[in-house]
Structures are given as C-alpha cells and as structure tokens.
Structure 1
Amino acid sequence: MGTVVSIELADDLPEPRLRELVDSTCAWLHEVDARFSTYKDDSEVCRFRRGEIPLAECSDDLRHVLDRCADLWRETGGYFDAYAGGPLDPSGYVKGWSVEVASQRLAEAGSTRHYIGAGGDIRMRGPGPGGRPWRVGVRHPWEADKLAWVLAVTDGAVATSGTYERGAHVWNPVAGAPAKGLRSVTVTGPDLAVADAYATAALAMGVTGLSWLAKLSGDGYESAAVTDDGRAFTSPGLPIAE
C-alpha cells in the first residue's frame, strides 16, 4: 500500500506463536494490497474500474469498501469521495480499514495487546508493554524531528492526514481544487477506518473542517489540527499523554 507497516505484540505468548501471528497479519495486508491496489493492473479494483467484472461478481471485501465509502461520502457532505480524482480510488478508506481488520483478526487469534502502524494510521488494542498505555507521537508538521503532540492510547485508533510529506495530495471535491487551509489533522477513536476517513475529509474541508471535527467528540472521535498559518487546535477529550 505504498507504506511501511510495523507490528508490535505485547502478549505473553510463546515466540513461535507470536511469529505466526505476525506472519498471518502480513499475509492479510499483502492480500489487501493485491486486491485494492490502483497501481497493479490485475487488482480487483483496477479490473472493476475497467468494467471487466460487474459489482455483483466482486468480492465481499470490495463491496463492503464501496458501501462504506458511500456512507462516508454522505456523512462528510461529499468531502470524503472515493471518486475525487476521477476513477474509483478507495485508498483513503482501505488502508485504515485493512489495519482495523488486521487488529480484529489478531484479537480473534488470541492477541489482546498489540500495535499496528501503517504510515499515519495506527491501531492499538489493550495495554502496551508494562501494562501502560501505548504512546503515539504526532509529527510536527514543519519540523520532522519534533512532535506536535504525544498521545496515550490503551485501546483505540490514531489517524493522521497532512500535506507536509506529499504536498497538496488531498483533493477538495466540493471546491474542485487541492485542499488548503489545514496542514495536519489527527483523529483518534474506536475504529481506525472511520478515524482515517474523518482525518482525510477534514483536511479536504480546510479551516471549516475545524468546526466539523469538534462535532465528532459525541461519537467518540477526538481530534487535533494545525492550520497552514501555524495555529493549533485540539478537542477537549484528546488523549494527550501526561
């Protein structure tokens, strides 16, 4: 999926079992990449885009992703749009979803304390090493060697979307132009797929996304954002480490 994935298991399990769990997680993520890649001509997404397979014959996973992208398009007023760049590209949902599912699969297989990070998308389950919350550093949007915030999460997700590494790669589908106004958006919550989509949508909205983010706290999603002119905002419930 164009990023490096890190997996940390804090479970008190035999090492061979831990290795099996890591291997199965990697296999799942490679399966997702093969199915949803927009760069591999033989991926299911590319074949669907070319009309080679009808929706009725697509995998359950692809149909689920398309349904959720449609739901999120409605929830965000059109700012989260899998068709923002023209052809279908569900990558803005797939990465977070794939890691969320990977965490669920690990839990079902007996791992109740783990951390999976894929770029700016992180899912933590249970307490970390030593029984303490997992600590997540949110990169400073201008100084790569510094952190804007450090979060403490025991069971939840952290997703960050920003323009500081790849430039104006997020499109504002409502304005029909590259997103501007926000340099970095971080969203925490119970589901990584949703948190990731919300962070992307807010970045696409620009500064108006700040008021939209504030409304998410009632659903368990907290946020932090930095504007293009250097102002920082956090929601009251953001789990900032002490």
Structure 2
Amino acid sequence: MRRVEHVMGLPVSLRVDDEGVPHAVADGVFAWLREVDRRFSPFRADSEVCRLDRGELGADDVSADLAEVLGLCEEYRSATGGAFDARLPGRGPLDPSAVVKGWAVQRAAELLTAAGARRFCLNAGGDVVVAGGPWRVGIRHPERADRVCAVLEVTEGAVATSGRYERGDHILDGRTGRPATGLLSLTVLAPTLTEADATATAAFALGAEGVAWAAARPGCEVFAVDAGRRVVRSAGVPVAGVG
C-alpha cells in the first residue's frame, strides 16, 4: 500500500508492506490527519485552538485531545525553563503546532498497528514513524537540500528533525522571543513521534545546551549539527552511514 497526500501544510506519505491490510485503513489515517488540521490549526478561525485563544471556550470546555496537547506543551515548557513555549510572550496567538504534528502522526501510526499493520513507514514532512524494520532513515544536510548528512537504521520508533531548512529561523527561544541560535539542525530518535518531534523542537529552542538536554530524556538519542558545523551525537544513535 502506498499513498501520498498534502495534509497539515506538508506532504505525508504512507507505505505499508503487509499483505491483507485493507486500504480503508489508509483512508482512516488521512481522515484523522485532516481532522486534526481542522481542529488544531492556529490558521483556521473556526478551529478549537483559535476559539480557545479568543476566549470563546473556557479551560473546561476543550476536548480531551486538545487538553492532552496543551498538557504536553506545558510539560516541555517547564522542562526547558520556557525555551519551548506554545505562546511566546507578546508574540501572537496560541500555537501548539510544535506538539500537534508529532502527536497526530503518532496517533495515525497507532491506527495502522491496531488494523494489523506490522511493517510500515509513515513520513510527515521528513519526520517518520516506522515499524517492522530495519528501515533506513536519512537526515537531511542542514545546508545542502540535495544531500543527507547521515543515515539511521531504525527497526521500531520515530525520528524527527528540527532546523532552519525551508523556513529559516522559525524556531524561537521562548525565553527571549528571538530566533534560537547554536544549532543548525537537531534530530531525535525516540519510541514515539510525539516524543521525538516535541523533544527536537524544544532542544533546538534551547540552542547548544539542547543536545545534552535531549540526550538525557528517557528513550531519546540525538544527532545534531551545531552552528560551528560540528556533528554531536549520543552513543546510541544507530548510524548506518554518513554523508
């Protein structure tokens, strides 16, 4: 089974290698991701996130899903001393996107598992969840779009990368409100994409100190390129090749 759709502002590709998994499962995966985009996008005026931000919903009125997302945002805000923040002081509306994508795609992966898929790769804009490997996952070079700087061999779990890449200095340090410095890219390997994606973004917001912070998180391994173009990685990173 193969499918690619543009959802949540990015390309999402699904590959399932198991025989007998119904194609309706893929329908469910992409329907869920579209639902998340409708409900949690900070760019849709009628989304639950925007309605909460405008005061149309009280804290007790939000859905269990949004409450979970906001809880994760608070967990990472506290763990980073405010470097990661879904609402930067004095800078615009509530935006939990840094947690939502990984959380939503992990939920989608769980839909696949529940339907009997045992070998699959779900890739959301370069952040991936895999099962039944080994799978080879490339880490894009932070300065060369046509190259990878490393290839990881992953059997089960998730890989997420934060960096400047296409969007430039879009990750801000919540403590200062200014673009995060100290790193060109940071990749996290974790058991779930919820953890990998949020940890990668939070660590990038921390700057150079974020490498050690992320590596100390339970179950996380880190591969980073700092502002001096030096590669830093934790001992358990399953590197299969270096670009």
Q: Which TM-score applies when normalising by structure 2?
A: 0.91
Does the 8 A contact of 1:149 with 1:240 survive in 2?
yes
* Equivalent in the alignment of 2:3: none
Unmatched tracts of structure 2, length 5 or more: 1-7
Is 1:226 paired with 2:225? yes
Give how far 1:210 is off: 2.5
Aligned-partner residue type, residue 69 of structure 2: V
The gaps in structure 1 that reach 5 residues or longer are 128-132
Contact 1:80 1:197 survives alignment (8 Å): no
Q: Which amino acid aligns with 2:211?
A: L
Select which of 4, 19, 36 maps to 1:12.
Answer: 19
Select 1:95's aligned residue among 86, 98, 101. 101
Find the aligned partners of 1:74 and 1:141 in 2 and give their Cα distance. Answer: 28
1:79 alignment partner AA: A
Amino acid in the other structure paired with 2:124? A
Q: How many residues in Structure 1 have an aligned counterpart in Structure 2?
A: 232
Instruction: Write the distance in 1 (CA, Å) between the matches of 2:203 and 2:214.
Output: 7
| Cα pair 1:120 1:161 within 8 Å, conserved | no
TM-score, L = length of structure 1: 0.92
Residue 36 (structure 2) aligns with: 32
Structure 1 runs of 4+ with >6 Å offset: none
Q: Which moved more, 1:95-104 or 1:203-212?
A: 203-212
Q: Distance in 2 between matches of 1:69 and 1:210?
A: 19
Distance in 2 of aligned mates of 1:183 and 1:28: 32
CA distance in 2, matches of 1:142, 1:80: 24
Q: Which has the higher strand share?
A: 2
**Cα separation, 2, equivalents of 1:114 and 1:201:** 27
- 1:108 alignment partner, one of 99, 107, 114: 114
Any conservation in 2 of the 1:103–1:125 contact (CA below 8 Å)?
no
Distance apart, 1:177 and its partner CA = 1.2
Say what the alpha-carbon RMSD is for the aligned residues.
Answer: 1.3
Local SS of the residue matching 1:165: helix
Q: SS state of the match for residue 4, structure 1?
A: strand
Give the aligned residue type for 1:3: L
| Cα deviations by residue, 1:178-230 (Å, 9 ceiling, x for unpaired) | 111101000001011111111111111111222223323xx110011111221
Farther-moved stretch of structure 1 (88-97 vs 69-78): 69-78
Match of 2:188 in 1: 187
In structure 2, the partner of 1:117 is 123
Q: Is the 8 A contact 2:153 2:238 kept in 1?
A: yes
| Counterparts of 1:175 and 1:207, CA distance in 2 | 15
Rounded to whole Å, the distance in 2 between the matches of 1:87 and 1:152 is 39
